[in-house]
Amino acid sequence: MSMPTAEERRFVDHLVAFTLPSTRDGRAALAALRRGLGKPPGTAAEMFPFVAEYAPDGTNWNSDRFYLVASLFGSHPVNWDYDGKDDCRSNLGASLRRANRESGGVEAALVSLLNSSQDELADRLRHSVALCAAAQPAPVPVDWAQLLHDLRWWDSPRRDAHRRWATAFWRPRNQSEDETDTKTEE
């Protein structure tokens, strides 16, 4: 599995810091990040103080993906704890699998997302992240660093991230998932 870079992890750590009780004005920062939702990445001026230092220079996809992920994080600031293992369960496909298990109706959204071009991606990601946030009985975390990394080559012909997300979503259930489901039902 292709893992996030140190730069990508550092950016997500910066975002996660806004959720800590000790962070002054964290709620205001998250609100500023949410202002980017529904707008082309990198066009909401309120986001600049929180993203510009970390995003690569330029007005290209490599920079836009930082703004896109930051706006999505602002809407659902629940990060999947990274355990350092090379594990496909920490990508967006895995989060959607968990959201589907808890709430259902997610498969069509994932198929639409996997068929998205870069131009369609922001809206479809916003919908997918909203499904994770609305999952019951609890919101499903997203591995934001992995998402940021996966978006880097979204339109590549190999579609590696697409396949990893699909594998994480549709792979056969394992025993530990069955045990987790049994404990949840009790």
Residue 99 CA to residue 154 CA, distance in Å, equals 23
What was the pLDDT predicted at 1? 61
pLDDT < 70 regions, the chain: 1, 82-89, 174-186
What was the pLDDT predicted at 82? 61
For residue 149 the two structure tokens come to 């990394």
What was the pLDDT predicted at 165? 96
In a domain, residue 94? The reply is yes
What CATH number is attached to the domain comprising 38?
1.10.520.40
In a domain, residue 24? The reply is yes
**Partner residues linked to 142 by β-bridges:** 79
What was the pLDDT predicted at 157? 93
Show the DSSP H helices in 56-153 as ranges: 61-75, 92-103, 107-114, 118-134, 144-151
Collect all residues with Cβ–Cβ distance below 8 Å to 24 and sequence separation of at least 6: none
Residue 41 CA to residue 160 CA, distance in Å, equals 23
**Partner residues linked to 79 by β-bridges:** 142
For residue 73 the two structure tokens come to 């994080």
User: Whole-prediction pTM value?
Assistant: 0.89
In a domain, residue 1? The reply is no
**Dihedral (CA of 91, 22, 75, 43) sign:** negative
For residue 186 the two structure tokens come to 């009790």
What was the pLDDT predicted at 2? 86
Domain count for the chain, please give it. 1
In a domain, residue 161? The reply is yes
Rounded to a whole number of angstroms, the CA Rg of the chain reads 16
What was the pLDDT predicted at 167? 95
Residue 171 CA to residue 11 CA, distance in Å, equals 30
Q: Are 71 and 47 in contact (CB under 8 A)?
A: yes
Q: How wide is the angle at C-alpha 170 spanned by C-alphas 71 and 168, nearest 5°?
A: 50
For residue 44 the two structure tokens come to 């909401």
In a domain, residue 52? The reply is yes
Which residue range(s) make up the domain with 174?
6-185
Q: Are 128 and 76 in contact (CB under 8 A)?
A: no
In a domain, residue 63? The reply is yes
